[in-house]
Amino acid sequence: MSHIIHRNLRRAPPVAARAAGLTVYDNHGRAYLDASGGAAVSSLGHGHPDVLAAMHAQIDRCAYAHTAFFTCDAAEELADRLANDAPGDLDHVYLVSGGSEAMETALKLARQYWLEAGQPQRATFIARRQSYHGNTLGALAVGGNEWRRAPFAPLLIDVPRIDPCYEYRGRADGQTTDDYTAALLRQLEDTILRTGPRNVIGFVAETVVGATAGAVPPTPGYFRGVRRLCDQYGLLLILDEVMCGMGRCGTLYAFEQEGVLPDLVVLGKGLGAGYQPIGAVLARAHIVGRLRDGSGAFQHGHTYMGHPVAAAAALAVQKVIQRDTFAEHRTSATCAAAACWSASNWCATASASSRSRRRAGCTRPSRRKPWRAA
């Protein structure tokens, strides 16, 4: 009998004994094709030698150092790489242990931004139905997965929601894509006005929707319209790229293809490709600058944030993605890791729809000879 509280309390899962490439083996020797990379996580497959070597080297140097007292080279270099590869002034990085933590961090950072601006009345986020942003209370509150939310609804903050940008389901017969997009933007504007612009912290959305609605890309111009409304009414734009970011949609950051620059970006999953638990928030200069010039600190933190081994693993993952699949980061939409080519020359996971990848101009990437698992 297992003493672990498993996801299914009536049946224990198989025991994963080892994994290599796209295959997980249980303790009876059965092989399982990890076609979705776990929960869209293992974008480089299992047992990549470069990542394992980086983790071993970091453990030998320093396995843990608390960020209240120390930083480490791996975390600094990872933050440098993420900031340098991000568009615009997304120059500041906060490292945590996963996507839900990262979303909580973004929500708190956005709230403190307005507190330090002398606008404490801003206490509301606007989000979308049929969305997913994580399972912690703040992330669950802004998410639109009603099945997940229902048991904990009394504990969650109230969040006004608008319709998702889901053209396949939402566009009416005879309605053009442009008209459908305009209707969604009017709905967002109406919600902002009804809530009161000076009461709203920001708008939260997945660039490409993942767990709740499937791989659903936005319509052309949707996020440019959202950005315009956020600027017009003074809201922050928070984009969740936990599932769709880090190359899964053709560019390192999925929002690059939408021609917008969010104020905060939330990362996870493909950031560390499953080799270590890690997530991150990227913030624009004016967000961090306001806190630096005000209280001087972000009132937040976790024991394992900026973990040296996790940072070393994620740094190695990003180096592999750039070396083996990204010929050009921001200057083209080369199909980097639209599904993250892994050990066996084919896609381990595909988070973006084929239509989204075609819009990105994706073709099979030219790359070096791939590594192969033993």
Average pLDDT over residues 4-23: 95
Q: Which two tokens stand for residue 82?
A: 């993420």
Q: Which 3 state secondary structure label does DSSP give 92? A: strand
Q: Which of 76-85, 258-267, 317-326 has the lowest mean pLDDT?
A: 317-326
Which top CATH class is 83-304? alpha beta
Q: Which residue has the higher pLDDT, 209 or 349?
A: 209
Q: Which residue has the higher pLDDT, 345 or 58?
A: 58
Closest CA to 143 of 296, 290, 266: 266
As a whole number of Å, the end-to-end CA separation of the chain is: 33
- pLDDT score of 358 more than 90: no
Q: Let me know: does 96 contact 281? Beta carbons within 8 Å.
A: yes
> How high is the pLDDT of residue 211?
83
Confidence class for position 100, pLDDT limits 50, 70, 90: very high
Q: Which residue has the higher pLDDT, 215 or 235?
A: 235
- pLDDT score of 351 more than 90: no
> How high is the pLDDT of residue 210?
87
Stated as kind and residue range, the H or E segment containing 53 is: helix 49-61
Confidence class for position 313, pLDDT limits 50, 70, 90: very high
Closest CA to 109 of 270, 308, 265, 241: 265
Express each pLDDT in 165-201 by its tens digit.
999 999 999 999 999 999 999 999 999 999 999 999 9
> How high is the pLDDT of residue 51?
98
Closest CA to 66 of 75, 53, 78: 75
> How high is the pLDDT of residue 292?
97
Express each pLDDT in 249-283 by its tens digit.
989 999 999 999 999 999 999 999 999 999 999 99
Average pLDDT over residues 303-323: 96
> How high is the pLDDT of residue 149?
94
Q: Which residue has the tokens 């929960």?
A: 39
- pLDDT score of 340 more than 50: no
Q: What is the mean pLDDT of the chain?
A: 88
Q: Which residue has the higher pLDDT, 192 or 343?
A: 192
Express each pLDDT in 42-60 by its tens digit.
999 999 999 999 999 999 9
* Residue range(s) of every CATH 3.40.640.10 domain in the chain: 83-304
